[in-house]
Amino acid sequence: MPIIAVGATTTRYFSVIKEMNLLYSGDVVVVAKGSIFIQAVPIGGSLQENIVDEVKQVEGVKTAVPMLCLIGLSTYKYSLTHLVPLNISVGMPPGDWSFLVGSTPLKPGGSWPSTNSSEEEVVIGLYLAQRFNLAVNSTVRIKDHDLRVAGILDTPSALLTRIIIMPLEAAQEIYGYNLLINMIVVEPQKGITEKELVNRIEKEVEDVKALTADERNEIIEPILRDVETWNLGIRSVLFSISMVLVMMVATMNVSERKGEFATLDAIGAPKSCIIRMVIIETGLIGFFGCVGGILLGVVAAVLVIGFYASVPVSFVLPNLFVIVTPAMMFGTLASVVALSCITGVIPAIFAARIRKREALG
């Protein structure tokens, strides 16, 4: 159970983080000096919106898209005990949505916010729509502003299911960032590398920091390596404990059935038959114990992820086999059964050496 629970939870967070690494792939991200960029979101610092024009004038820049990206700032409750933000609000110029969502479609009946509309509009992720019972044309209230839900993103992406996308001007007004942004996504011209463009931007534009994909990930990479090492260590310890427990159970079973093994020896049963019997028995102990452990581990993983991601269990269940993959289940089962059989070798040898005179008196 702990192997599945720990492994599934850790793997899920790895996949979410790696998914965020794919955002702005091949692009350069420009942020204010002194700010920290973690995965897909800048923390601290802001830029004047007119800096976008300066960036566009740098040689090698094909497109520069300003964004205002803010974490968990809606009026909905947000708890620091949750490792995943309830929402991420993003303001960006209409028509440039693909820089953030790629080719992600909207659910039927939805549309992207229009600059010609007299009302404030947003596109939200599927998780937010389900959690707060929102549909296309529903009204959502953020910072004392009533906004119409123009569309809902149709994707299971962990990031995009929690996102609120709106025109840049609307985001600046709602969150009080008048004429301010906190990041610029820059697409290089063909033949220009990210590193070349980063050097040019930082040289020609003052008070900004330009980041390549590798630089954006360098903060989180050491943490990921440490967590991966920790996960491997925990799984190794748990497998070792499993082997010891199976060996103890098998040894006790053999000790309690000395008479039976002596009888087999007396009627001429080969020692190899006795060894196979004990090994098969320990394999079955590992098999049935692992099946029960996997079921309990799946339940534990769902509850842990639901709690820390602030997601009701009903939202997690449809993605059950994404969280705990069949490959993880069968891999764990095969490993435990194999280790149980190996562990059963010592008790099996002990059983084969029992002499009938000692056992039968």
In the predicted model, what is the mean pLDDT of residues 261-281? Answer: 82
Residue 151 pLDDT level (bands cut at 50, 70, 90): very high
Cα–Cα dist 3/123, whole Å:
39
Q: pTM for this one?
A: 0.71
- pLDDT tens digits for 196-219? 999 999 999 998 999 988 888 777
Structure tokens at 169: 């001007």
pLDDT at 73 over 50: no
For residue 32, the SS3 value is strand
Structure tokens at 185: 């996504």
- pLDDT tens digits for 290-343? 999 999 988 888 888 777 666 667 777 777 787 788 888 898 889 888 888 888
pLDDT at 46 over 60: yes
The b-or-e profile of 220-255 (16+ CB within 10 A means b, else e) is eeeeeeeeeeebeeebeebeeebbeebbebbbebbe
Q: Up-side HSE of residue 355: CA atoms within 13 Å toward CB?
A: 3
Residues 6 or more apart whose Cβ sits within 8 Å of residue 267: none
Residue 79 pLDDT level (bands cut at 50, 70, 90): very low
pLDDT at 66 over 80: yes
